[in-house]
Amino acid sequence: MALKAFATPGPLGDGWLEWDYGMAEDDLVERLLGIEPGSPLAALRLQREAIRQHAQGAWRELVLTQVPGGVSSRERAAIALAVARQQGNAALLAECEALAAQVGAPPEGARTEVLLRYAAMVAEAPERCGQADIDALVAAGMSSQDIVAVTQLVAFIPFQVTLLAGLRAMQEEARA
């Protein structure tokens, strides 16, 4: 099932995303991997339902949130896209590209540059992040809560890539 999004007026002028999940919430991982209900892999995932729900909930709250706080939906989509591009998973990259196309690009400028530079650094080499990087985010108008949300989003995309790779390997092994 594909998600349908529509924008409503938001505090940052770019709108909040609202998602129409229909009867049942779309599961990103199952959709990207083509996991069919009732398949052995679907059954395995249901054995760890809490993990499945938390992974989908994190995607929903970090990327698709209806209450973006000080980090707009456009900024979140751009960050997810940048990190997905860096991580190299084609399916997740396509998902993030579609999301970014749907919500639009964030405004060009220093804030977006700072956010994307921070996202790239944290995804690639988080140990390089220092106080000056946090100060740059604060100078760009971000609160501590916003910085935590961005950092969680940046960390979540590589987690998704790892999860997708592991489940894809299980799919391929089952087919062999």
> What's the CA gap between 143 and 71, in Å, rounded?
9
- Does 10 have pLDDT greater than 60? no
**In this structure, are residues 103 and 14 in contact, taking their beta carbons and an 8 Å threshold?**
yes
Structurally, how many domains does the chain consist of?
1
Is the pLDDT confidence value at 7 over 50?
A: no
- pLDDT tens, 14-73? 444 444 333 246 899 999 999 998 888 989 898 988 989 999 999 999 999 888 889 999
* CATH number (domain holding residue 58): 1.20.1290.10
Task: Mark 128-143 as b/e (b = at least 16 C-beta within 10 Å).
Answer: eeeeeeeebbeebebe
Domain span at residue 107 reads 4-175
10 Å CB burial of residue 104 (0-12, 13-18, 19+) is middle
**pLDDT at position 2:** 40
Region 73-86: mean pLDDT is: 96
Is residue 115 within 8 A of residue 75, CB to CB? The reply is yes
Give the Cα separation of 105 and 77 in Å (integer): 8
Q: Specify the 3-state DSSP secondary structure of 108.
A: coil
Q: Taking a C-beta distance cutoff of 8 angstroms, is the pair 102, 44 a contact?
A: no
Q: Where are the beta strands (DSSP E) in 11-155?
A: 16-20
What are 92-133's pLDDT values in tens digits?
Answer: 999 999 999 999 999 999 999 999 999 999 999 999 999 999
pLDDT on residue 21? 35
**1 pLDDT more than 90:** no
pLDDT at 25: 62
**Model-level pTM?**
0.82
